[in-house]
């Protein structure tokens, strides 16, 4: 079972090549703020992340996801419910 820290580390690695401002990438980076991703890019990025972790992230949870850490927590939650 992956821990929150495992998921966060994998997330950072997945996002790094895709984010225009990757040098600012850390747990509290806002996906649509300081990383320079627009909403369409975030949606595409999410699909890659879903494949990577073999989960589906419901659209309903996205309003609560602002930072990379928020996303890691959601994925952790979904994985632990399976």
Q: Count of CB atoms within 10 A of residue 5's CB? A: 11
In angstroms, the CA 63 to CA 53 distance is 20
Decide: is 55 part of the binding site for other proteins (CB under 8 A). Answer: yes
Residue 31 CA: distances (Å) to CA of 58, 59, 82: 17, 15, 26
Instruction: Give the total of residues touching other proteins (CB under 8 A).
Output: 13
67 - beta bridge partners? Answer: 30
Pick from 3, 5, 56, 77: which binds other proteins (CB under 8 A)? 56
**By C-beta, is 1 or 59 nearer to other proteins?**
59
Decide: is 1 part of the binding site for other proteins (CB under 8 A). Answer: no
Binding interface with other proteins (CB under 8 A): 39-40, 43, 47, 51, 54-60, 82
């Amino acid at each position: 079972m992956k821990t929150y820290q495992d998921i966060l580390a994998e997330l950072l690695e997945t996002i790094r090549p895709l984010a225009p401002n990757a040098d600012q990438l850390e747990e509290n980076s806002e996906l649509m703020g300081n990383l320079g991703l627009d909403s369409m890019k975030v949606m595409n990025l999410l699909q890659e992340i879903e494949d990577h972790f073999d989960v589906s992230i419901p659209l309903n949870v996205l309003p609560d996801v602002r930072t990379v850490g928020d996303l890691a927590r959601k994925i952790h939650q979904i994985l632990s419910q399976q």
